[in-house]
Amino acid sequence: MAIRVVQLGTPRTPGEGLRLGTVRRPPRGVPRSEYALRDFYDVWLPELAPSAELVKVALRAQDGREWQTFVRRYRAEMKYPAASRLLSLLAAFSQRTAFSVGCYCADEARCHRSILKALLEEHGARLE
């Protein structure tokens, strides 16, 4: 079993398991009852999303230096007790069950989920 990192809204793959949305806001224009049906997420975990202020920093990042500022600040946010406990919990779950975490961004390399993937690994998670 392991954690798969996905783009929310893309078709699910066999064995993906429960899909966790690590985004600040739910999908626009989609009724809550259809989040899972439309392959967004089954459970919403905004605690693992960057803060609203930090999302703006990421969207404005034009070069590698600005992106690294985002990475450093997101990692700092994930050290807060609530986020750190969630990362540890997900890492422990990954040893026994398959599930996925994701965000809406098309480019994983310029998305917090690439950093989240590294953080989960640092907490001992099994990743696909």
Structural domain span for residue 28? 3-122
The CB density around residue 102, as the number of other CB atoms within 10 Å, is 25
Q: How far apart are CA 70 and CA 111, in angstroms?
A: 10
Q: Name the band, by pLDDT with cuts 50, 70 and 90, for residue 24.
A: very high
Residue 128 resides in a domain:
no
Please count the structural domains in the chain.
1
Q: Does residue 63 sit within a domain?
A: yes
pLDDT at 1 over 90: no
Determine what percent of the chain is predicted with pLDDT higher than 90. Answer: 95
Q: How confident is the model at residue 62 (pLDDT cuts 50, 70, 90)?
A: confident
Q: Could you tell me if residue 55 is inside a domain?
A: yes
- Would residue 71 count as lying in a domain? yes
Mean pLDDT of 35-59: 96
**127 located within any domain:** no
